[in-house]
Amino acid sequence: MLAANAPRATPEQLSTLAPLAGLAPERLQELSEVAVMERARRGSDPMKERQAQGRSVFLLQGELLLVFEEGGTLVVVGGSPDTCQALNRRKERLGRTKAITDVDLLAIDDEVLDILATWDQVAASGEVEGSEMARAVRSDSRLISGVFSVGNLRTGVFAQLPAAHIDQLLQRFERVKAARGDAVIKEGDEGDYYYVVDSGRFQVERLVGGAKVVLAELKSGDAFGEEALVSEAKRNATVLALADGELLRLAKKDFVELLRDPLLKRVGFEEATERVKEGALWLDVRYPSEYQYDRLPGAINVPLAEVRNMFAVLDRSKEYVAYCQSGRRSAAAAFLFAQRGFKVMVLDGGLWAAQNRP
């Protein structure tokens, strides 16, 4: 039986594993903090319940007998060439295993491995090897622990990005400094850039009835500025630097091409209705006064300004179809949700298009 009381794997141990051999030391250090290392006792079958958990399992220390489904056995020793690959990802399918000694196993989510391999290999490719951002993604500890951390690559703004666009992003993002008190964007201005916080703290505020209302505080890995770019509207809030920090910014044209369009899925009313019949939920992102007047049956009201407050409330396993009057606000809301890993489509053309359909 596995016990979760073994020590953490070291970056040096991780570097000996085939899928991780090319990763930078900083990335290996980060991975060592999220990987699961467990100990199995002599005589147990440590792989019995770990064959189909969506994780790759490696033997780090000890001796393990592998018994294959189609016949044959093999004794493997932690640290040897036979254990550079995951035990449950071998060509020969495992039937059972037996720990000859106490063994230390390391389990890493397959999704995490794939994400890291994708970003690391793209960043190392010939096209972007001269890019400052590409070098940073591979070896800058500040970015690895922040914007491009495993957590953010898995559930943040870049999580659903097509791999083909990663190299372009790494070339077009630029890093800019922000001093304490700087207004990075101002309410009422035209949208020009999309921002991701690298370091520092930033405050989002808006004027309501002449009074300043603080809406949110942003930290490393958080993004802002997308609403005006997605909905083609003016900035609806001001973002101030609460401390010295650095931002990654992307020009509007590049944002639309590389982030907005790939992340937004638009559907017509008929397809949206079918999706709802199959279990999706309507998401009305208009003001409550609009929602009360002509909402769609069963719709949940999440005004655009409240979207960030709903990340911890809505069920991520559900599918949603966002709508407003024209499709502008719902596109902005859908993008905000997509950045956090939600499956949210946009009703193309909004209620106006639905009401005017043949």
Known catalytic membership, residue 324: yes
Instruction: Give the pLDDT confidence of 48-95 residue by residue, as tens digits.
Output: 877 667 888 999 999 999 999 989 999 999 989 889 988 988 888 889
| Domains of the chain with bracketed CATH | 2-111 (2.60.120.10), 124-259 (2.60.120.10), 264-355 (3.40.250.10)
Instruction: Give the pLDDT confidence of 176-208 residue by residue, as tens digits.
Output: 999 999 999 999 999 999 998 988 999 999 998
Average pLDDT value for the chain: 86
**Region of residue 36 (phi > 0: left; psi between -120 and 50: alpha; otherwise: beta):** beta
Instruction: Give the pLDDT confidence of 224-270 residue by residue, as tens digits.
Output: 999 899 888 899 999 999 999 999 999 999 998 888 888 889 999 99
Catalytic residue among 324, 331, 332, 334: 324
Q: What angle do CA 258, 151, 147 make, to 5 degrees?
A: 55
Q: Can you give the pLDDT at residue 3?
A: 43
Q: Can you give the pLDDT at residue 4?
A: 46
Distance between the two ends of the chain, CA-based, in angstroms? Answer: 63
Q: What's the rounded Cα separation, in Å, for the pair 275 and 266?
A: 12
Type and span of the H or E element at 218? strand 211-218
